[in-house]
């Protein structure tokens, strides 16, 4: 199981094109934060852009597995289907936590350097972004296991576009102040329990899909 995690992380960070896309994404986020210093950009990055990075681990590994047909070879390893799928989810959760850490750095930048938002306002946004990241990971991973790399990537992009459009609509309807108050009012325990429940459901769906495709 550890070997699968190491393989997925290796494909995510060591194959040249993949780290380049990561660096480009982070630089683009950083540039938007420095050029457009506003609460709108902070919330956009904390709620959508950075939480979406967790799906990248399975996106990259699925692409490489399908090219090399490694997913079929993987079933001959002395590990169960649950362990294979769990290893891939663990890689995604690691990247989601990395996105949350980068969001924390942006939070400190906006609170102490730009002074555009208070810590009391920013922390609920960061927490909500982590919850959204887990939900986004659940949807993205279930899509990749059910549909494969190409159609799963289409689902991933469409989901991201829908969430971005929803955020823009909410911004124009309510503004950033109302969005911040809304994120702060969300019961944190209920939110994380809901996200974990969706993640567990996604895991079961992915296990069933993997068994059907390679069983």
pLDDT tens by residue, 41-80: 888 888 888 888 778 777 778 877 777 777 777 777 888 8
Higher pLDDT, 16 or 193: 193
CA distance 108 to 72: 45
Q: Residue 199 above 90 pLDDT?
A: yes
CA distance 187 to 126: 14
CA distance 127 to 81: 32
User: Token digits for 80?
Assistant: 């169960």
Question: How many other C-beta atoms are found inside a 10 Å radius of the C-beta of residue 211?
Answer: 13
- Grade residue 16 by pLDDT with cuts at 50, 70 and 90: low
Q: Residue 198 above 90 pLDDT?
A: yes
String of DSSP letters for 84-129: HHHHHHHHHHHHHHHHHHHHHHHHHIIIIIS--S-HHHHHHHHHHH
- Grade residue 185 by pLDDT with cuts at 50, 70 and 90: low
Which residues have a Cβ under 8 Å from the Cβ of 20 and sit 6 or more positions away? none
pLDDT tens by residue, 30-40: 888 888 888 88
The predicted pLDDT at position 209 comes to 93
Q: Taking the model in full, what pTM does it have? A: 0.84
CA distance 2 to 142: 21
| Cβ 147 vs Cβ 53: under 8 Å | no
- Grade residue 179 by pLDDT with cuts at 50, 70 and 90: low
What does the mean pLDDT of the chain come to?
82
Higher pLDDT, 8 or 109: 109
């Amino acid at each position: 199981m550890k070997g699968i995690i190491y393989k997925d992380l290796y494909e995510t960070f060591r194959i040249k094109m993949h780290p380049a896309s990561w660096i480009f994404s982070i630089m683009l986020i950083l540039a938007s934060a420095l050029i457009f210093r506003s609460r709108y950009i902070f919330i956009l990055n904390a709620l959508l852009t950075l939480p979406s990075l967790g799906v990248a681990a399975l996106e990259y590994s699925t692409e490489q597995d399908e090219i090399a047909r490694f997913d079929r070879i993987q079933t001959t390893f002395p590990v169960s289907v649950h362990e294979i799928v769990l290893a891939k989810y663990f890689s995604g959760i690691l990247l989601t936590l990395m996105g949350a850490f980068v969001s924390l750095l942006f939070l400190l930048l906006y609170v102490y350097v730009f002074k555009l938002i208070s810590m009391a306002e920013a922390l609920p946004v960061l927490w909500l972004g982590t919850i959204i990241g887990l939900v986004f990971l659940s949807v993205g991973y279930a899509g990749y296991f059910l549909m494969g790399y190409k159609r799963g990537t289409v689902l991933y992009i469409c989901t991201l576009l829908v969430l971005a459009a929803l955020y823009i609509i909410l911004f124009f309807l309510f503004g950033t102040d109302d969005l911040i108050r809304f994120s702060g009012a969300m019961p944190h325990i209920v939110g994380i329990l809901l996200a974990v429940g969706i993640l567990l459901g996604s895991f079961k769906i992915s296990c069933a899909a993997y068994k059907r495709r390679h069983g």
